Structure 1
Amino acid sequence: MCGIAGHVDFERDLTGLRDTAAAMAETMTCRGPDAGGLWAQGHAALAHRRLAVIDLAGSAQPMVVEEDGRRLAALTYNGEIYNYRELRAELRARGHRFRTEGDTEVVLRAYLEWGDDVANHLNGIFAFAVWDPRDQSLLLVRDHFGVKPLFYGRGPDGELYFASEPKALMATGRIEARADADSLREAFSQVWTPGRTVFAGIEEVRPGHIVRVTRSGLRHRRYWALESRPHTDDLPTTVDTIRGMLEEIIGAQLVADVPVGSLLSGGLDSSVMTALAARHRGARGEEPIRSFSVTFTRYTERFRADEVRDTPDAPFARMVAQHVKSLHTPVVITPERLAEPGIRRATVLAQDRPSPLGDMDASLYELFAQVREHSTVALCGEGADEVFGGYHWAWVPELIDVEAFPWIAFYQYFCPGAGLGSGLLDEGLLKQLDLEGYSADRYREAVAEVPRLAGEPARERRMREITHLHLTRWMQHLLTRDDRISMAVGLEVRVPYVDPKLVEYVFNTPWSMKSHDGREKALLRAAGADLLPEDVLSRQKSPFPVTQDPLYTRYLSRSLTEILDDPTQPAHELIDIGAARSVLAAPEKLENGPIAWVNRTHIEMVLTFNAWLQHYGVRLDIP
């Protein structure tokens, strides 16, 4: 994986003018610690930071193709193409000649062969930009589900800047860190509208889309979207098909010229993935796969079950590791480390946005940093809950028909009257933002995108809607978080469950089949039934662990108090001081369970919002 950046100015000749592109790339050295490159010709300048995973000695970027002294295209690319070898053979048969062994040149040659249709031929996770001097245009491309990020914005004179991260755009000095009402709504409403960001004037290429930039403007086009179609396979055939797909996908995603590990929580998703990865490694005669889990000091001993977590991860992760013979490393985090200001700040800067999930973000950062000491690439089970139907809110009868994003309905169910992370905002600001109305509008737009299937029963239609919302909204947030936090420590995370063919196949299986055993993720459980111990197969889904240590809660309270007591803090005037002090006066409401966790998200959001405003010097452009 890598970091990409660049700019296009149709009113200036940028030949040799590399300073702006260099400044953009400099903000993303963590994404590409192994090498960097710059290219500037005509109206375009491209930059690249490289994390070497395939063809370590070659494939330097930006990469340029010339024939007969004529420059055809220049590419800066971030991602992994899992079918690059097959594409290389096809392109060679079509007359293309290759100088390197990696996937970068395959992407560039594929563009020369298929133009705007290039993404339809790629199986992988990717975001890239191609400057085409033949027609003086720039093409921005993002993968099917938006695993890899790609942002862009306009400068004061109409010039266009693009990059893997917003911070790179602001490094130009031409795009301001500014937030208006809509960008604050995106920050606080938890709806994750594709294409929108928490910065006014900065947009993101939508998943499954391309953007063609010419002198006359921008042209957006969707090249891929989930489609609804009848599912004709019976249950045994469906299970066998899913198993075959997973074996093929995981085998392809283990390919790298650097060490590959696996994130193993002991849940169904990561356990099936790790078991299949271990089998592939064994069949190839390779050393056992390394696996990694995260836990907290004395977490298992202190664990208290609640409505969504009935068991700790550690015993199950250990059980799976022993069963599949992986080389397992449990990453144990202390509350002091979790609360360390440097890590907290790093997670905000990695994501370029505030987050109500500060404890999870910090845990991921520490986990990824420890994994990076042993592996450059890690397989991750993200996406399985969205694909196979694993979330608790899809199984609460009272919530299924609520006309709202299911996760928002779920949190409202446990903690009425406040969204996730917005409970301590100033009452006047909340009224102005109208988060409930904004969420309702975005929900209606999202439901309107769901592809319909003629004659589908009402319950099946509703569960298709919920699944589509998970895949296009909720999962986007998780994929973005994984990419940004992992790349902050130079780790590439691959997500086998987000393979488009697998997703589309399972998306079209009826809910009655997805829940055939009366449990969440029934199809995945059946597909991996011979891979795992029965205790793991029958384990209830448990979300990503969060610390239950009171020391961490005291850290949150102390940090919030510092902001409340200091009027110079940028978030001070945007907080409901009375509500915040009431929360601090009742520490028992922050201790354990879903209600306590939702209450903690309000504090986490204030802390990260304050850090975000402070670091970026965000100008609030609200009446």
Structure 2
Amino acid sequence: MCRIFGYFNAAATPHEMRAVAALQRHGGPDATRAVRAPGWGLGSNRLAVVDLDGGEQPYGRDGRVRVVFNGEIYNHEELRAGLVARGHDIPDRCDGSVLPALYLEYGEEFTDHIDGMYALALIDERGPVPRLLLATDHIGMKPLYLRWDAAERSLRFSSELPALLGFSGIGARVRESALDAYLATRTPFGTRTVYEDVDVLQPGTTWVCELGGTPRVRRRPTDAAEGPAPDGFTAARRVRRTLRTEVGRLLVADVPVALITSGGLDSSLVTALAAEKGPVDTFNIAYRGSWPFDERHFAREVAERTGATHHQVEIDPADFPSLLQDTVWHLGQPNADPIALSTYALFRAVRGAGFTVALTGDAADEVFGGYERMRVAAERSAAGGEWSAGYLDALSAAPAALRARLYTPDYRAHVAADPALPAGVLAELLHGPGTVLDRITRFELEQRLPAYHLRRVDHLSMASSVEARVPFCQPSVVALGRALADHQRIQGGQVKRTLYAAAAGLLPERVLARPKQPFTLPVTAMLRPGTALWEHARDLLAVDRLAERGQLDGAAVEALFTAQAERPDDGAALALWALLSYEVWHEQFRRPVALPGMAPVVPDGPRTLAVAA
């Protein structure tokens, strides 16, 4: 696991390369290396997980094909054996070391042979001019941020958005519609970021360009669903067997591995399957005091059932303002999920206890049909009712009607011309092939999961030098989930029916029978007058501050505070949390700071602040 960065058909000073590397060194503290040549440069920050003494990047550094790589290749031993049999020399047993030989053997289709999570950059100097190839994994577990200048035909890229801003001239302009897109989908949607000139490479994409040319971008075919799935317990047994295999493969590392165990079905099942392979350590997070949705007793039951060594992490709500500052900085752009703060604190504790890898239960809801919004939409559509407006509001941090009240007239007019969801994506969701649940599942997996969940997990785990592995994102597991019929996912008010059946007998009955609840921060109870979080929100969402950008109606935001103080409500609390997170991002990355007596200067990005952090 590493962080990568570089440029192509461009120039960057050694200082810029060092700045970019420094800004994401937390994700790769074990080694930093770069190679530069006329017109291009590649760099990496290494987090050593496999072959701790080998794996020097760029891989293939003595040849004409060089690669920097962020991720983990789970089938690297099989690949190495096949490549050596074909006459290739692999210098060590690090997983990424197979990549140059794999490319030489199979060309641009070499990614078809990789089972893992990755974002990589490859320079091929065998032709008349150098050629750059970028590639991302099938589902977006490892993001890659890009700034492509079409006029100059130049590219700069990095694994993290704050690091990309270390290159000069990037991120000077925020998308005018970024606030609306954020409130509508809880984070900048799809491949967009908050910046006009920065995008994210789509999952399952290969990007190829010769020096001075224009890129060819190919979206590789998604993994076909197995199907149709057998009914009843046969499907459940297949899911259990496949998950058991994948969890076992993802436990392999040359460093200590932990399990994130929330106490819900998904992470508890991963924990139980991992414990079949030997002793495991589990981590759960809770909050000092008495709060709703406390899951620590469920997580403890799972740990006791599986014989795990359990680590209970507890954070003080009084520390939330400072934790939020760190969380937002590492994300580089707003994310309205309150659990982001807890995710950051949890992985910090995992690393503090000496673990470098952690398996999580993320993505099970997308694969197996676990969200309440999925259930409601499926049931409404089956009854012939309208489902889309409620589903889209459930995706948001502030429903459409509330957003209209929050915006100034000028901003309402602007966002009407630049909708948060692109027309093509919305049309596919509303009118594409398959049942409503099929379309929602495709949308959640291909669009929402990478942008909203996986980038958050990646950035906030790597903020503490922890590699998060996600068994439910493995192609074999996703294919099984996609093959299930609607009733095998959701029926009679029950979600994730097949996954619950797969877990039967492996988990405590109380965990299997408990009502589903989100793994989240109880922000409705915590965002109340008298708390540190409330005072922080009141300061940053003051009317005079909001008036500066002319997007939000200060009186409407004040009305949210009043409603939350008098009648605490999940909707008002989430909207206030989202607005607070956006203002924290603006404070760190956009608000200029001037010395007394000096006119403020608007910075291009957060470089000075980020280095200080």
TM-score range, shorter chain: 0.7 to 0.9
Give 1:442 shift.
Answer: 5.4
Q: Work out whether residues 264 and 292 of structure 1, in 8 Å CA contact, stay in contact via their aligned partners in 2.
A: yes
Alignment of 1:192-211 (within 5 A): 193-211=189-207
Equivalent-residue separation in structure 2 for 1:336 and 1:399 (angstroms): 44
Equivalent-residue separation in structure 2 for 1:338 and 1:445 (angstroms): 39
Evaluate the alpha carbon distance shift between residue 347 and residue 423 of structure 1 in structure 2; reply closer, same or farther with a 3 A threshold: farther
Kindly indicate whether residue 340 of structure 2 is the aligned counterpart of residue 346 of structure 1.
Answer: no
Evaluate the alpha carbon distance shift between residue 411 and residue 444 of structure 1 in structure 2; reply closer, same or farther with a 3 A threshold: closer
Evaluate the alpha carbon distance shift between residue 518 and residue 444 of structure 1 in structure 2; reply closer, same or farther with a 3 A threshold: closer
Q: Work out whether residues 125 and 147 of structure 1, in 8 Å CA contact, stay in contact via their aligned partners in 2.
A: yes
Give 1:232 shift.
Answer: 5.0
2:275 to 275, 278, 284: 278
Q: Secondary structure at the match of 2:64?
A: strand
Q: Work out whether residues 69 and 96 of structure 2, in 8 Å CA contact, stay in contact via their aligned partners in 1.
A: yes
Unmatched 5+ stretches in structure 2? 594-601, 606-613
Q: Work out whether residues 31 and 50 of structure 1, in 8 Å CA contact, stay in contact via their aligned partners in 2.
A: yes
Aligned to 1:241: 238
Residue identity (%): 29
Equivalent-residue separation in structure 1 for 2:108 and 2:179 (angstroms): 34
Evaluate the alpha carbon distance shift between residue 530 and residue 94 of structure 1 in structure 2; reply closer, same or farther with a 3 A threshold: same
1:387 to 367, 376, 384: 367
Q: Work out whether residues 261 and 291 of structure 1, in 8 Å CA contact, stay in contact via their aligned partners in 2.
A: yes
Q: Work out whether residues 34 and 58 of structure 2, in 8 Å CA contact, stay in contact via their aligned partners in 1.
A: yes
Which moved further from structure 2: 505-514 or 604-613? 604-613
Kindly indicate whether residue 498 of structure 2 is the aligned counterpart of residue 502 of structure 1.
Answer: no
The amino acid that maps onto 1:253 is L
Q: Work out whether residues 380 and 387 of structure 2, in 8 Å CA contact, stay in contact via their aligned partners in 1.
A: no
Aligned to 2:174: 179
Aligned to 2:498: 523
Unmatched 5+ stretches in structure 1? 282-287, 304-310, 454-460
Give 1:166 shift.
Answer: 2.2
Aligned to 1:584: 561
Q: Work out whether residues 331 and 367 of structure 1, in 8 Å CA contact, stay in contact via their aligned partners in 2.
A: yes
2:401 to 417, 420, 429: 417
The amino acid that maps onto 2:410 is G
Q: Work out whether residues 260 and 376 of structure 1, in 8 Å CA contact, stay in contact via their aligned partners in 2.
A: yes
Kindly indicate whether residue 344 of structure 2 is the aligned counterpart of residue 365 of structure 1.
Answer: yes
Give 1:443 shift.
Answer: 4.0
Q: Could you list the per-position Cα deviations for residues 390-416 of structure 1 after superposition, in whole angstroms to 9, with x for gaps in the alignment? A: 101112234786464865333679966
Give 1:507 shift.
Answer: 0.5
Aligned to 2:436: 462
Q: Work out whether residues 154 and 175 of structure 1, in 8 Å CA contact, stay in contact via their aligned partners in 2.
A: no
State the TM-score, normalizing by the size of structure 2: 0.88
Alignment of 1:127-526 (within 5 A): 127-135=119-127, 136-154=130-148, 157-190=152-185, 193-214=189-210, 215-227=212-224, 230-281=227-278, 288-299=279-290, 302-303=291-292, 312-340=294-322, 343-357=323-337, 359-374=338-353, 375-396=355-376, 397-398=379-380, 402=386, 404=388, 407-410=391-394, 417-419=401-403, 424-434=406-416, 437-439=419-421, 441=423, 443-447=425-429, 452=433, 461-476=435-450, 477-515=452-490, 519-526=494-501
Equivalent-residue separation in structure 2 for 1:599 and 1:428 (angstroms): 21
Equivalent-residue separation in structure 1 for 2:566 and 2:82 (angstroms): 61
Q: Secondary structure at the match of 1:40?
A: strand
Q: Could you list the per-position Cα deviations for residues 77-103 of structure 1 after superposition, in whole angstroms to 9, with x for gaps in the alignment? A: 000011111111111121111111111
Give 1:21 shift.
Answer: 2.5
Q: Work out whether residues 3 and 48 of structure 1, in 8 Å CA contact, stay in contact via their aligned partners in 2.
A: yes
Q: How many residues align?
A: 584
Equivalent-residue separation in structure 2 for 1:618 and 1:231 (angstroms): 55
Evaluate the alpha carbon distance shift between residue 195 and residue 598 of structure 1 in structure 2; reply closer, same or farther with a 3 A threshold: closer
Q: Work out whether residues 537 and 580 of structure 2, in 8 Å CA contact, stay in contact via their aligned partners in 1.
A: yes
Q: Work out whether residues 376 and 490 of structure 1, in 8 Å CA contact, stay in contact via their aligned partners in 2.
A: yes
Give 1:548 shift.
Answer: 5.4
Q: Could you list the per-position Cα deviations for residues 408-438 of structure 1 after superposition, in whole angstroms to 9, with x for gaps in the alignment? A: 333679966125xx86443421331128944
Q: Secondary structure at the match of 1:601?
A: helix
The amino acid that maps onto 2:305 is H
Give 1:323 shift.
Answer: 0.6
Q: Work out whether residues 183 and 396 of structure 2, in 8 Å CA contact, stay in contact via their aligned partners in 1.
A: no
Equivalent-residue separation in structure 2 for 1:246 and 1:499 (angstroms): 9
Kindly indicate whether residue 28 of structure 2 is the aligned counterpart of residue 32 of structure 1.
Answer: yes
Evaluate the alpha carbon distance shift between residue 548 and residue 568 of structure 1 in structure 2; reply closer, same or farther with a 3 A threshold: closer
Give 1:599 shift.
Answer: 4.8
Equivalent-residue separation in structure 1 for 2:371 and 2:239 (angstroms): 20
Equivalent-residue separation in structure 2 for 1:469 and 1:592 (angstroms): 28
Q: Could you list the per-position Cα deviations for residues 541-572 of structure 1 after superposition, in whole angstroms to 9, with x for gaps in the alignment? A: 11013235866433344234324558467966
Q: Could you list the per-position Cα deviations for residues 456-512 of structure 1 after superposition, in whole angstroms to 9, with x for gaps in the alignment? A: xxxxx1110111111112211101111111111111111100111210221111011
Equivalent-residue separation in structure 1 for 2:331 and 2:393 (angstroms): 25
Q: Secondary structure at the match of 2:401?
A: coil
CA-atom RMSD, angstroms?
Answer: 2.9
The amino acid that maps onto 2:217 is H
Aligned to 1:456: none
Equivalent-residue separation in structure 1 for 2:464 and 2:198 (angstroms): 24
Equivalent-residue separation in structure 2 for 1:415 and 1:425 (angstroms): 12
Kindly indicate whether residue 85 of structure 2 is the aligned counterpart of residue 102 of structure 1.
Answer: no
Aligned to 1:6: 6
Which moved further from structure 2: 194-203 or 44-53? 194-203
Q: Work out whether residues 272 and 531 of structure 1, in 8 Å CA contact, stay in contact via their aligned partners in 2.
A: yes
State the TM-score, normalizing by the size of structure 1: 0.86
Q: Work out whether residues 153 and 213 of structure 2, in 8 Å CA contact, stay in contact via their aligned partners in 1.
A: no
Q: Secondary structure at the match of 1:216?
A: coil
The amino acid that maps onto 1:276 is L
